[in-house]
Amino acid sequence: MSNQPLQPSTIVPTGKGKVLLEYIVVLFAGVLYAVALKYFVLPTKVVLTGTEGIAAALSYYFESDRLFIILYFIFQVILIAFAFFAVSRSFALRSFLVVGTVVVFLWILPELRVADPDPNNERMILVIFGGLLAGVAKAMAFRNRGSTGDEDILGAYFAMKYLKPVGYIAIIAATISTTFGLILDYLKNGHLEVVVNTLMYTCIYIFISAETLNNLYRKFKLTMLSVITKDHEKIGGVVKSVFSHRTYTYQPVSGGHSKGEFWLVRTIITHEELPLVKETIQATDPHVFFYHHDIDGISQQYFISPIR
How many residues would you count in the chain?
308
User: What pTM was estimated for this model as a whole?
Assistant: 0.77
10 Å CB burial of residue 203 (0-12, 13-18, 19+) is middle
Q: Determine whether domain 221-295 maps to CATH 3.30.70.120.
A: yes
pLDDT of residue 12: 44
Q: Are 144 and 94 in contact (CB under 8 A)?
A: yes
Q: Are 168 and 211 in contact (CB under 8 A)?
A: no
Nearest Cα neighbor of 71 from 9, 155, 184, 149 is 149
pLDDT of residue 5: 42
118-124 average pLDDT score: 78
Q: How far is CA 52 from CA 124, 177, 188, 195, in A?
A: 20, 8, 19, 19
Can you tell me the distance from the alpha carbon of 175 to that of 9, in angstroms, rounded to the nearest whole number? Answer: 43
* Res. 173: pLDDT tops 90: no
- In the chain, domain spans: 16-216, 221-295
279-294 average pLDDT score: 91
Q: Are 53 and 174 in contact (CB under 8 A)?
A: yes
Nearest Cα neighbor of 202 from 123, 126, 127 is 127
